[in-house]
Each structure stands twice: as structure tokens, then as C-alpha cells.
């Protein structure tokens, strides 16, 4: 057995367990992230991967994208003369996914086969947590389901992502194949259920987008018919959830009431307060377009804008929470460099996945399709939530993109392109 085989096999267990521990064990997926990182660095050393890395265009593109947020944060801190390693933590998770990607790309393991079990079991474990644990940390969340270390919004979005990935890892959608993929279907149902019970709203906007993307990339016939069936099924699930799940019904009524109040000019609702945060972020960007107001300076700058009469008053409870848009937050705190970096961590991998989806190799197409749906899901989440203000979520995103890209950029793919 060669040293590369031994090293490759040592990755299999953490690769299998990281989605399972994501929502069930606090810090579990983070620990596995660093275990994978250390193994990957050792693989780099043993196989001398740095000698070929610079000559591989996908590796260069991925590296630039996943390094950009760290560079933008450092640039903003240097401009404001305040270097603080605390705010470099989450961007470094994206950066550290680079060696993991290239080590896995050169490994001999069947990544897709491992994820076909790990992702649905992760979604199922999230539902199990929901059935036994209720989040009561803040009164504003009431009885919305979550675990003990995430708020319901982040928990619901991550559960939905695990369910989506479970479905995307199904190779064929013909009835016999679906029977053979009972675990993946169970993961989809569990992820959707856990997300619905969490009462999250913004994340569900990703579902029709993911369905359209999945069918567009599918090699199967009658795509329009399947799209209609998929959207009808989604509508049926949404109606059933509204009728049967109290939390879903409550959140729908709240959404209608909030939208109506905003139309009347009342911005005291959750939606109205988010709109005021976004308005404040735009003002900050206009004042500091290149480097922003600095990391973690959003709310201090917001108070200044309020005192100067630029923005209307907001409740004190809003201060120190979150901006409710990752892109607005990056734009305001890090300027244009931050916004470009925020877009790069999504769109560069997205285009790489789209290119890989044209491969003739089944496992490459499956991983590329899963990557497209995963990136699009997180992009939609980040429109209304600062997903990465929790470091474990940044680790999960960076690691999952790296893993799926590695599966889509195997050595077999290199030979196919040549």
C-alpha cells in the first residue's frame, strides 16, 4: 500500500462525519475541519503538491477567490490603522479550504460516495435534534426549533442546505433509482422538516432557484415537465406545511403583517428594521467606498448616522445584533473590496462547478450539480442573513465547496480535458 493511499484513506472518516456533527455536536464539525486541514497539509508535504499547484488554473482561481476576503479585511484594517486578529478568523476559514481542496483533488478516495451517506445523515441528525431540543435563548424566537448553539435562522438554513445536498447526490431520478436512494430522499425530507420547524423564511426562497438549477444541469429529458412537477410538488409541500405546522403558519402571518406595515410607512417590524439597517449600510459605503468603515464598526457608525440625522431612529435592541445581509455588511465595513470578495467566494466556485457539470464522468457531473445548488443556496441565504458571522458556518461553507470542487476536479477530469 502506497503512502498516498494511506493518507487518502485517513481523510475518509472526517469527511464522512463533518456534516453529521454540524448541527448535532457543538464544535464537532470545526474539529473535523482542522483534522482535514492537518491531513491535507501532510499530503502536500509527502506528495510535494506545491510543485504542480501553480500550473493548475482551477487551483489558482479557487485560491484567489477564497483568499480575497482575508485580503479585503486586512486592507480595511490597515487603512483604518487597527489590525485585530479576531476579525481575521472567519475569512481565514475560506483561505484554509485551499490546501484541503487540492489535497482531495489529488487523493484516491471516492468523495461522492462518502458524501452520499454523510449529507443525508447530517440532515437526519438535525431533525433528531429538533425533535428533542427547543431553542429558548431569546424571547423573540419563541418556540422556533433549533439546537443549543445556533439561532433558528442559521439552524434552519443549514438544515435546508444538508437536505438539498442529499437530493443533489441522487444519481438518477427514475423510480427504481429513487428506491435505491431511500437514504438520500430521507435526508431531503429531514432537512426540509427541520428547516420548516425552525421558522426560517428567507432561506426558503432558495428552493425554487435550486430546483430550476438542478433541472437545468440534469441530463434527463422532459426538463420542462419535470420543472412543473417539481414546482407543483414544492407548492403542495408549502401548503401542507402551512396547514399542519403551527410555526410555519405563524411565520406566514407575520410576514404578511410586516410587509403590510412597511407599505403603510411603519418600519418598526422585523422587515422594516432590516430595511433601515440596509439603508444605513448603503450610507456607510457611500462615505467610505473603497475600504468601508472597518470590521465590526457597523453599529458604531450607525449610531453616528442616527445622531447626525442621516437615518431615522431605531430601537436600541437592534444595535450589536447583525446587519441581516452579508453583502451589505461587507460593503459597509470593508468597502468595494469587501463586496467584490463576498461575490467572489460565491461566483468563482459557481462558474467552476458549471464548467465541470459538462463532464462525461457521472461522479463529476453529480458533484458539480451539487456544488451549483449548494453555492446558490448560500448566496440566497446571505442576501438576508450574515451567515458567516458564526465561524463554524464559514468553515462548513469553505470545506463543502472545497470537497465538492475536489470531486469535480479529479485527476480523471484533468485527463478528460487534455
Q: How many angstroms separate the CA atoms of 57 and 303, rounded? A: 45
pLDDT band for position 21 (50/70/90)? very high
Can you give the pTM of this predicted structure? 0.88
Give residue 418's pLDDT.
44
The pLDDT value recorded for residue 225 is: 60
Among 193-197, 328-332, 381-385, where is mean pLDDT lowest?
A: 193-197
Q: Which three cell numbers stand for residue 213?
A: 438549477
Cell triple for residue 58? 482551477
Quote the pLDDT of residue 88.
93
Supply the pLDDT for residue 42. Answer: 87
The pLDDT of residue 254: 64
The pLDDT of residue 95: 97
* Banded pLDDT at 144 (limits 50, 70, 90): confident
pLDDT score for 136 = 47
59, 102 in Cβ contact below 8 A? Answer: yes
Considering 151-160, 192-201, 247-256, the range whose residues carry the highest mean pLDDT is 151-160
Distance from the Cα of residue 28 to its chain's centroid: 17
More confident residue, 317 or 274: 274
pLDDT greater than 60 at residue 4: no
Q: Is the pLDDT of residue 289 over 50?
A: yes
pLDDT at 121: 96
pLDDT of residue 397: 97
Contact call for residues 97 and 352 (beta carbons, < 8 A): no
Using one digit for the tens of pLDDT, what is the confidence trace for 53-99? 888 888 999 999 999 999 999 999 999 988 888 889 999 999 999 99
Alpha-carbon gap, residue 230 to 228, rounded angstroms? 5
Residue of 311 and 26 predicted with greater confidence: 26
The rounded distance, in Å, linking the Cα atoms of 90 and 58 is 23
Rounded CA separation 415/65 (Å): 25
Q: Residue 415: what pLDDT?
A: 47
159 or 273, which is more confident? 159
What's the whole-number average pLDDT of the chain?
83
Please, which pLDDT band fits residue 139 given cuts at 50, 70 and 90? very low
* 350 confidence band (pLDDT: 50, 70, 90): very high
Would you state the pLDDT for residue 46?
Answer: 81
Report the percentage of the chain scoring pLDDT > 70: 76
Amino acid at each position: 500500500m502506497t503512502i498516498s493511499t494511506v493518507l487518502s484513506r485517513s481523510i475518509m472518516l472526517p469527511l464522512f462525519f463533518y456534516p453529521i456533527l454540524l448541527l448535532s455536536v457543538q464544535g464537532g464539525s470545526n474539529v473535523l475541519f482542522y483534522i482535514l486541514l492537518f491531513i491535507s497539509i501532510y499530503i502536500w508535504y509527502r506528495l510535494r503538491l506545491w510543485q504542480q499547484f501553480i500550473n493548475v488554473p482551477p487551483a489558482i482561481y479557487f485560491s484567489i477567490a477564497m483568499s480575497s476576503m482575508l485580503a479585503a479585511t486586512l486592507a480595511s484594517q490597515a487603512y483604518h490603522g487597527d489590525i485585530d486578529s479576531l476579525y481575521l478568523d472567519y475569512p481565514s476559514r475560506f483561505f484554509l479550504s485551499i490546501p484541503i481542496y487540492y489535497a482531495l483533488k489529488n487523493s484516491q478516495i471516492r468523495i461522492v460516495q462518502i458524501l452520499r451517506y454523510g449529507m443525508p445523515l447530517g440532515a437526519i441528525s438535525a431533525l433528531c435534534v429538533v425533535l428533542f431540543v427547543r431553542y429558548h435563548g431569546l424571547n423573540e424566537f419563541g418556540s422556533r426549533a433549533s439546537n443549543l448553539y445556533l439561532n433558528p435562522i442559521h439552524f434552519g438554513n443549514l438544515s435546508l442546505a444538508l437536505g438539498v445536498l442529499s437530493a443533489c447526490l441522487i444519481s438518477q431520478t427514475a423510480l427504481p433509482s429513487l428506491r435505491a436512494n431511500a437514504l438520500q430522499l430521507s435526508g431531503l425530507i429531514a432537512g426540509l422538516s427541520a428547516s420548516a420547524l425552525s421558522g426560517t423564511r428567507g432561506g426558503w426562497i432558495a428552493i425554487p432557484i435550486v430546483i430550476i438549477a438542478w433541472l437545468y444541469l440534469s441530463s434527463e429529458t422532459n426538463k420542462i415537465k419535470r420543472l412543473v412537477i417539481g414546482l407543483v410538488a414544492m407548492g403542495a409541500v408549502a401548503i401542507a406545511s402551512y396547514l399542519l405546522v403551527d410555526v410555519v403558519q405563524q411565520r406566514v402571518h407575520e410576514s404578511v403583517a410586516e410587509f403590510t406595515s412597511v407599505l403603510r410607512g411603519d418600519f418598526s417590524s422585523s422587515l422594516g428594521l432590516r430595511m433601515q439597517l440596509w439603508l444605513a449600510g448603503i450610507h456607510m459605503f457611500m462615505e467610505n467606498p473603497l475600504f468601508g468603515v472597518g470590521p465590526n464598526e457597523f453599529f458604531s457608525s450607525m449610531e453616528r448616522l442616527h445622531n447626525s440625522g442621516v437615518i431615522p431612529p431605531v430601537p436600541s435592541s437592534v444595535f450589536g445584533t447583525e446587519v441581516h445581509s452579508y453583502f451589505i455588511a461587507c460593503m459597509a465595513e470593508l468597502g468595494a473590496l469587501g463586496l467584490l470578495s463576498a461575490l467572489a467566494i460565491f461566483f468563482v466556485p459557481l462558474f467552476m462547478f458549471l464548467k465541470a457539470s459538462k463532464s462525461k464522468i457521472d461522479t463529476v457531473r453529480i458533484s458539480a450539480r451539487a456544488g451549483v445548488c449548494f453555492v446558490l443556496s448560500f448566496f440566497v441565504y446571505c442576501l438576508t442573513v450574515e451567515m458567516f458571522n458564526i465561524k463554524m458556518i464559514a468553515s462548513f461553507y469553505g470545506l463543502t465547496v472545497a470537497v465538492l470542487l475536489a470531486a469535480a476536479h479529479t485527476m480523471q477530469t484533468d485527463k478528460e480535458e487534455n
